[in-house]
Amino acid sequence: MLEMSDMLTIFISLVLAIISSLIVSKSSSQQNYSQTVSMHRLDWMDNLYDDIGVMLGAIDVLRNANTEEEKNKYNYKYNKARALVLSKLNRNENKHQMMFMLVIKLDNVKNDKEYFAVKESILESMAQVGKEVWETVKKETDFNGGKLNG
């Protein structure tokens, strides 16, 4: 028969094992959540890059289109990509506001010099937004002393 001290030792060991298991489970759950959110942030950023590329490519062709058919085709592509870009920006964040204003400004350029300046500014703004997102992702996935978990 087990003595009281042995039963107490077994009971304490059992409680510690359960607590340890719960802590590991919670930590793993938080890590999975952070990795999922980070993955979605990166997908969002990739999609925004793609949409900006389509938008700028379409307006380049549109500015030099010769036929009405070509103008209609690229006007549609430009407007669709432009709408996607604007819908993905968070107007509560400064860098996003800047990009939003630049995309709107792109519609109202008066000459080639202004067009290329606005286009370059959009690309610079996108780089800033991308860097901000990447820094957030690095912080969210930093569980291992600065090494990203995979």
pLDDT confidence bin for 148, thresholds 50/70/90: very low
- What is the number of residues in the chain? 150
Closest CA to 122 of 108, 137, 104: 104
Q: pLDDT tens across 4-47, in order?
A: 676 677 778 777 777 776 666 665 555 677 788 888 888 999 99
Work out the angle between the directed axes of helices 112-140 and 94-106 (0-180°, nearest 10).
150
pTM of the model: 0.72
CA distance 85 to 18: 49
Closest CA to 55 of 30, 76, 33, 26: 76
| Average pLDDT score over the chain | 84
Number of H helices, E strands in the chain: 4, 2
Q: Where are the domains of the chain?
A: 39-141
Residue 81 forms beta bridges with which residues?
Answer: none
